[in-house]
Amino acid sequence: MNVSFNSIAIPLNISRLYHRTYEEFMMAPISACSVVLGEAAAGCLRGLFGAVVVLGLSFAFGARLNLVPLFWLILLLNSFLFSCLGIFAAMLINSHEDMNAFSSFVIVPMAFLSNTFFSTRDLPAAVNLIINVLPLTHTSKALRALALQQPFPWESLLLLAFFAALFFWLAVRVSLRGE
């Protein structure tokens, strides 16, 4: 999540605001959808590379995980949706400082609250409701279920696909606004 978001959001924000190189892409004879898809694919690959490194280290230290094709699909969806969120944020936020603030107040708390390091079952109902809306919560649920051979939460896969489509659509919309 963090690699996919930050590897796209911060450089894109800088290139849009300071170097003005993003304008070159937007003046090229390709659609905003293609530009967003290319940026998202780059962030996706970086996120997957980071995941492979972590998984490799996990296996090196003795972890035993069930890495079925659905596991990789969830990783891909997660990387794609956070890349698209990074593009959306980079195109919407108008200063590098605000970009860092967005990362600090949205991305970092999500990493800690989204059922990643501890169970959310014992949290108050209102907090749990908010946490269950976050996409990373569903990534954590799905990956944990697959890796530990537990029943798979199909609603999490549907929600991840929904978030991926939503963030892609939002990224294309703000990119079109920049044309």
Check residue 148 and report its DSSP letter. Answer: T
The pTM for the full model equals 0.88
Dihedral angle at the C-alpha atoms of 54, 50, 129, 144, nearest 10 degrees?
-40
178: confidence class by pLDDT, cuts 50, 70, 90: low
H-only helix segments in the chain: 2-14, 22-27, 32-60, 69-92, 96-102, 108-113, 125-131, 135-147, 154-177
Residue 175 reports pLDDT greater than 90: no
Residue 179 reports pLDDT greater than 60: no
**How far is Cα 119 from Cα 140, in angstroms, rounded to an integer?**
10
Q: What is the pLDDT of residues 67-84, one digit of tens each?
A: 899 999 999 999 999 999
26: confidence class by pLDDT, cuts 50, 70, 90: low
**How far is Cα 78 from Cα 159, in angstroms, rounded to an integer?**
11
Question: Which residue, among 145, 166, 148, 170, has the nearest Cα to 74 in the 3D structure?
Answer: 145
Q: ∠ CA 16-22-24 to the nearest 5 degrees?
A: 140
For residue 94, the tally of other CB atoms under 10 A from its CB is: 11
**How far is Cα 96 from Cα 13, in angstroms, rounded to an integer?**
7
